[in-house]
């Protein structure tokens, strides 16, 4: 990796981000991955961006299904972040078997006890460098009671306490 690439990765390690498990289900089957590269795009109409490495084995599944659900993880769900990042080397079925999932309008699984789940249709996929940027239209949002959020910062997971405004 170039010095510029190394410096870029070091800078990105200083950018704290929410940890999400992104899921899909449909004609290509179930799939899921852990991501921090998720952000809001617009609130009118509600839309988000989700970035995924084009080399991921999950990529074709998401492209074919055309739907995804962003499951925002709480501190107690760190184990799911590791599972869906591939750290445990489990297959897709085993990853999904380790938590409770609910059906969504698009068919993408929603984590029953996530901080929030955002069910979407993928409207457009932009190929940028090594990643696909999925532009997604929000179909439904499900919120649960707020708990400590799971944040990735400094190449590690951290808990972010519930602010008074949400309690």
pLDDT of residue 44: 97
Domain count, the chain: 1
Rounded to a whole number, what is the distance in angstroms from the first to the last CA of the chain? 44
The conformation of residue 163, written as its DSSP 8-state character, comes to P
pLDDT of residue 82: 95
pLDDT 10s digit of each residue in the chain, 167 long?
Answer: 678 888 988 998 888 999 999 999 999 999 999 999 999 999 999 999 999 999 999 999 999 999 999 999 999 999 999 999 988 888 999 999 999 999 999 999 999 999 999 999 999 999 999 999 999 999 999 999 999 999 999 999 999 999 888 87
pLDDT of residue 18: 96
- pTM, whole model, 2 decimals? 0.94
pLDDT of residue 1: 60
Would 1 be classed as within a structural domain?
no
Would 136 be classed as within a structural domain?
yes
Q: Which residues constitute the domain of residue 49?
A: 8-153
Would 3 be classed as within a structural domain?
no
Q: What angle do CA 103, 104, 106 make, to 5 degrees?
A: 125
State how beta strands 116-128 and 38-43 pair.
unpaired
Q: How many CA atoms lie within 13 A of 107 on its CB side?
A: 15
Would 163 be classed as within a structural domain?
no
Would 25 be classed as within a structural domain?
yes
Would 41 be classed as within a structural domain?
yes
Q: What is the CATH number of the domain that holds 82?
A: 2.30.110.10
Would 16 be classed as within a structural domain?
yes
pLDDT of residue 45: 96
Q: Residue 131: left if φ>0, alpha if ψ -120 to 50, beta else—which one?
A: beta
Would 55 be classed as within a structural domain?
yes
């Amino acid at each position: 990796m170039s010095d510029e690439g190394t410096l870029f990765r070091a800078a990105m390690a200083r950018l704290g981000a929410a940890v999400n498990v992104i899921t899909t289900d449909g004609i290509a089957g179930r799939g899921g991955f852990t991501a921090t590269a998720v952000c809001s795009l617009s609130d009118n109409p509600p839309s988000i961006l989700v970035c995924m490495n084009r080399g991921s084995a999950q990529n074709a599944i998401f492209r074919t299904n055309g739907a995804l659900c962003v499951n925002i993880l709480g501190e107690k769900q760190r184990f799911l972040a590791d599972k869906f990042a591939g750290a445990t080397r489990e297959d897709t079925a085993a990853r999904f078997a380790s938590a409770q999932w609910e059906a969504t309008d698009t068919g993408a699984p929603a984590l029953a006890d996530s901080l929030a789940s955002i069910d979407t249709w993928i409207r457009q996929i932009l190929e940028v460098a090594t990643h696909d940027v999925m532009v997604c239209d929000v179909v439904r949002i499900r919120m649960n009671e707020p708990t400590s959020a799971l944040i990735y910062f400094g190449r590690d997971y951290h808990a972010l306490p519930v602010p008074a405004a949400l309690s």
